[in-house]
């Protein structure tokens, strides 16, 4: 790589870094403003009533000779906060098996793990759910109707009660 090309790429990389830092700083300041608004006015919206921030043009590093600017409209909007992460339910030992026993009659005759998750109303850890389903199989309450083949989940079929 020639020295001139190295210097061009180095300057472009530095400019991109500075633009990224400015975007992060603006995002932080906006989130801090929203937090302060929530603290001082708990009944109001978390977002301040200000126009959306406009970011400086960002330089692309694809080719040193061809450095184009991306318009501020193409930059991601910083005026919206990300949705809060849903918290996983705190499960007690054996709770998934107990809950599965409680909703077992609601399940269709043939079902898969997604049907179970919908009926439970929460998504337990994958291994826990699989272990609970395997317990149902080993106890003879259900049989495997179709084994998983990659993208298709395992299907289970209820075993009719013996008289």
Average pLDDT, consecutive stretches of 10 residues, N- to C-terminus, the chain (163 residues): 87 91 90 87 59 50 45 43 54 87 90 92 90 91 88 90 64
What is the model's pLDDT at position 68? 42
**Same domain for 108 and 49:** no
What is the model's pLDDT at position 162? 59
Closest CA to 2 of 64, 52, 71, 59: 64
What is the model's pLDDT at position 118? 92
Distance between CA 110 and CA 149 in Å, rounded? 17
Long-range (24+ apart) CB contacts under 8 A made by 79-83 are 79/30, 79/47, 79/52, 79/53, 80/47, 81/31, 81/34, 81/46, 81/47
- Report yes or no on 40 lying in a domain: yes
- Report yes or no on 43 lying in a domain: yes
Looking at the structure of the chain, the number of domains it has is 2
What is the model's pLDDT at position 89? 61
Q: What CATH number is given to the structural domain containing 116?
A: 1.10.10.10
101: containing domain: 95-158
What is the model's pLDDT at position 72? 40
**Same domain for 101 and 61:** no
What is the model's pLDDT at position 64? 46
pTM over 0.85: no
**Same domain for 61 and 11:** yes
What is the model's pLDDT at position 137? 92
**Same domain for 149 and 112:** yes
What's the token pair of residue 68?
A: 């184009």
**Same domain for 115 and 54:** no
Distance between CA 50 and CA 62 in Å, rounded? 34
């Amino acid at each position: 790589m020639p020295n001139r090309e190295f210097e061009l790429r180095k300057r472009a990389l530095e400019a991109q870094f500075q633009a990224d830092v400015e975007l992060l700083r603006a995002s932080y300041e906006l989130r801090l403003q929203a937090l302060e608004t929530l603290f001082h006015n708990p009944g109001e919206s978390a977002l301040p009533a200000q126009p959306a921030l406009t970011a400086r043009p960002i330089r692309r590093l694809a080719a040193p000779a061809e450095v184009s600017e991306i318009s501020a409209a193409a930059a991601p909007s910083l005026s919206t906060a990300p949705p809060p992460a849903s918290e996983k339910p705190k499960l007690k030992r054996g709770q998934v098996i107990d809950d599965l026993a409680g909703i077992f009659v609601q399940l269709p005759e043939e079902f898969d793990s997604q049907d179970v998750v919908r009926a439970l109303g929460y998504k337990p850890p994958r291994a826990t759910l699989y272990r609970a389903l395997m317990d149902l199989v080993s106890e003879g309450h259900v049989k495997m109707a179709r084994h998983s083949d990659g993208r298709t989940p395992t299907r289970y079929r209820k075993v009719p009660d013996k008289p």
